Chains A and B, each alone.
Chain A
Amino acid sequence: MGLPCTGMHRRRRSGRTRVLPVALAAGLALLAAGCVPGTDGSLAGKGASGGATAVPDPADAGNVTLTVWDQEVRGGTNGELEELNREFEKKYPNVRIKRVARSFSDLKTTLKLAISGNNPPDVVQANQGYPDMVAFVQAGLLTPLDNYAGIYDWNTRYPNTLLNLNRVSADGKFFGTGRLYGISQTGEFVGIYYNKDVLDKAGLEPPETWQDFTDSLATLKKRGELPVQFGNLDKYPAIHTFGVLQDQLGAEDTRDTVLGRGSGFANDHTEEAAATLADWAKRGYLPKGANGLGYDDAWKKFADGQGAYLISGTWLQADLKKPMGDKLGLIPPPPAKSGGAPVTTGGQGLSWSVTSRSKHPEVAAAYLDFITSEHAADVMTKHGVLPAVPGKAAARLDPESTEGQMVAGWKRLNAADGLVPYLDYATPTFYDTTSQSLQKLISGDLSPGDFAAALQKDYGAFMKKQRAGKR
């Protein structure tokens, strides 16, 4: 280093001598071309038919190792699943469950490679919507479960709205309709958490109507309290908040739109909901600089007493309950009229699906049935998790407790058919489009009209492609 003559040698070396190595490298690199595994579609499976006719008995299957990939790493769901796995192994001593648990985003990024490989897991948790579940079905990597649904009575155990979210059309183009490719264990809805102390201090009651709720925001602000705690640095939280606002104005159409048969996003309820959110940000109902605050930081602040409300999913219930105890309350977004039918964004946890190359589809199906059974629902309730179909234990919960409120809210939403699927299911790129546009809407860089147009542009283009029959 540092010797002045280095440059001289560099110069002299150029020319003839450098050509050969470069050519060699280029040649080698080109050799690789044309043999990238999988680009010929060979990773895709045949798409097993799942042709069972009687209740399978895993005890007859011989020694089986069932490989399960899931993302239930949070406290409550992790505990519930570990307990159920232990019970399943005890019930069928010939079955060993090999569990691979990863966080949601880790699972999402590795699952595609895992299930298209030669030795895929038997059971996987697939995210609903186009990028994951529909893509897997299109490639024939998941087993349709309609037969098992009949054998195990899943069709009566689960409300149709929930089962539909795990359906993909036979041609692998649409989701929300067609064959059943999975079953979910847990229920989810975006609700309104409130801090009883903060509301009390402001002389407010938990809101019973949507009007109560929006009025209370102004009251809280005037008293110097932060009305709604909210952190959107991670991009996705605003999708939930916006979903709640949009559902108040047009739940039916929004649900149809997500499932590919609604009016889209260039409409009044989308624009009006966007205007409301932008207005909340401007009036300071949301914390200043919400786009720079992390999601986890935000709910920890709420648990700490900063903010009267937090609009988020039931998955936070256990985490919030621990520090807040009895101060915490949870309701579905209040309806327009007191006692009316609530609507909100929600659905169910990731779908539990069976891969088409699994050597033990019947054992896998029996496992799916086991972890979604009535008994499983009670185990989930014990661990503070909201089961998709609440069982006896859930009915015994104290209705004043957050858990009781959560289960009651879930039952009301299901009875009223008030669940609207997550907006990002709508197109393969909708998560990006929506989350980016929402960040700009909140910072005031995008008007509500342009916001609706941005969403519609993505949605319209995808729908056009879908109708043209092109992938």
Chain B
Amino acid sequence: MKSPLRSSRRAPGEPRAIGYLYILPALAVYAAFLLYPFGQSVWLSLLHWDGLNAATWAGLDNYGDLFTDPALRAPFVHALVLLIFYAALPVAIGLLLAAVMSRFRVRGMTFFRTVLFLPQVLAMVVVGVTWRSILAPDGMLNDVLNLVGLDSLSRAWLGDENWALPAVGVVGTWVETGLCMVLFLAGAQRIPRELYEAARIDGAGAVREFFTVTLPGLRAEIAVALTLTIVAGLRNFDLIYITTSGGPGNATSVPAYEVYHRAFETNQVGSAAAVGVALTVVIFVLTVTVSRLVEGRRS
């Protein structure tokens, strides 16, 4: 990313505009398959359309509904709650695991790394079906709880108004933690050993070492991990579709599911497009913020 820029600055003989010629093929594909459809979605979001008959102009009505209609506001709130499980927890756990693993030599490390990364390899549908049975009223989780005498805690996790969202969130944590850990382990290996030695000579303990050497050294990886997990959390569709279909009530409805539901099931294409566009904006804002705050800040 850096070198073409530098050369365009530093080589006065070359016309700058030529850069656009280089990216033209990629841009054309990007425009045809992403920008153009996105423009169509924006247009649709300004209409009332059932997908079949002539549409009527809605102006910003569909967007106004996002703020006033509780049935549309809720999915966005749920998505933000899910970010704790999809982004914050996996990054925190991943950091912890990476810190421990880089400090102690663990026997069979490759094995554990593979096991922890495995959820990433599985199709989300498989993950959903598996967890649906684990979280069922007579599923594995409740069996274990009953076994250790915690009967009072066991419940129908996916059918409980208050617990369904965290239950789905934990699945997200399970999936994303492996990715974060592998990213951080790779990053930690490239932190110079000398820095750790220096820290130890200065009398730093494990905690101090983590905060002064490991954490700053992993800043770029944290940014990548946060970006990937935030995007994964916000566009979460398959898991919800498989496990709860947004229920019970609408306790686990998320924007991506709402787009599908409105466009294909209740013939509200305009409203679906507005949710989609709003989701795009939220993802864009959050990822730009992350790359600014985490990646861009100098210590």
Tell me whether A and B are bound partners.
yes
A residues touching B (Cβ–Cβ < 8 Å)?
1-4, 6-11, 13, 24-25, 28-36, 38-41, 43-44, 108-109, 112, 116, 131, 135-136, 138-139, 141, 232-235, 287-294, 297, 428-429, 431-432, 435-437, 439-440, 443, 445, 471
Which residues of chain B are within 8 angstroms of A437 by Cβ–Cβ distance? 249
Does any Cβ of A come within 8 Å of B107's Cβ?
no
Contact of A289 among B1, B159, B264 (CB under 8 A): B159
State A463–B49 Cα separation when bound (angstroms): 20
- Residue pair B187, A2 in contact (C-beta under 8 Å): yes
- Residue pair A29, B159 in contact (C-beta under 8 Å): no
Does any Cβ of A come within 8 Å of B190's Cβ?
yes
Contact of A290 among B1, B55, B156, B221 (CB under 8 A): B156
- Residue pair B156, A1 in contact (C-beta under 8 Å): no
Does any Cβ of A come within 8 Å of B297's Cβ?
yes
Which residues of chain B are within 8 angstroms of A428 by Cβ–Cβ distance? 266-267
Does any Cβ of A come within 8 Å of B196's Cβ?
no
- Measured CB to CB, the nearest residue on chain A to B264 is A109
- Residue pair A135, B136 in contact (C-beta under 8 Å): no
- Residue pair B266, A289 in contact (C-beta under 8 Å): no
Given contacts A38-B51, A135-B50, contact A292 B39 (CB under 8 A): no
Does any Cβ of A come within 8 Å of B199's Cβ?
no
State A287–B159 Cα separation when bound (angstroms): 12
State A247–B40 Cα separation when bound (angstroms): 46
- Residue pair A233, B52 in contact (C-beta under 8 Å): no
Which residues of chain A are within 8 angstroms of B136 by Cβ–Cβ distance? 292-294, 297
Given contacts A33-B42, A43-B52, A289-B137, contact A7 B297 (CB under 8 A): yes
State A22–B298 Cα separation when bound (angstroms): 26
Which residues of chain B are within 8 angstroms of A43 by Cβ–Cβ distance? 51-52
Which residues of chain B are within 8 angstroms of A290 by Cβ–Cβ distance? 137, 156, 159
- Measured CB to CB, the nearest residue on chain B to A30 is B39
- Residue pair B249, A436 in contact (C-beta under 8 Å): yes
Given contacts A293-B156, A445-B249, contact A32 B52 (CB under 8 A): no
Contact of B36 among A3, A8, A31, A445 (CB under 8 A): A31
- Residue pair A234, B245 in contact (C-beta under 8 Å): yes
- Residue pair B36, A28 in contact (C-beta under 8 Å): yes
- Residue pair B159, A112 in contact (C-beta under 8 Å): no
- Residue pair B157, A292 in contact (C-beta under 8 Å): yes
List 13 A–B pairs whose Cβ atoms lie within 8 Å, in order of A's numbering.
A6-B220, A7-B296, A34-B43, A41-B54, A108-B265, A112-B264, A131-B265, A233-B132, A235-B247, A289-B160, A293-B137, A428-B266, A440-B249
- Residue pair B31, A112 in contact (C-beta under 8 Å): no
Say how far B196's CB is from chain A's closest CB, in angstroms: 16
Which residues of chain B are within 8 angstroms of A471 by Cβ–Cβ distance? 50, 53
Contact with A along B207-223 (1 / 0, CB 8 A): 00000000001111100
State A291–B157 Cα separation when bound (angstroms): 9
Say how far B98's CB is from chain A's closest CB, in angstroms: 14
Which residues of chain B are within 8 angstroms of A9 by Cβ–Cβ distance? 1-2, 5
- Measured CB to CB, the nearest residue on chain A to B297 is A7
- Residue pair B2, A291 in contact (C-beta under 8 Å): no
Which residues of chain B are within 8 angstroms of A292 by Cβ–Cβ distance? 135-137, 155-160
- Residue pair B44, A36 in contact (C-beta under 8 Å): yes
Which residues of chain A are within 8 angstroms of B47 by Cβ–Cβ distance? 39
- Residue pair B5, A13 in contact (C-beta under 8 Å): yes
- Residue pair B39, A28 in contact (C-beta under 8 Å): yes
Say how far B235's CB is from chain A's closest CB, in angstroms: 18
Which residues of chain A are within 8 angstroms of B35 by Cβ–Cβ distance? 25, 28-29, 32
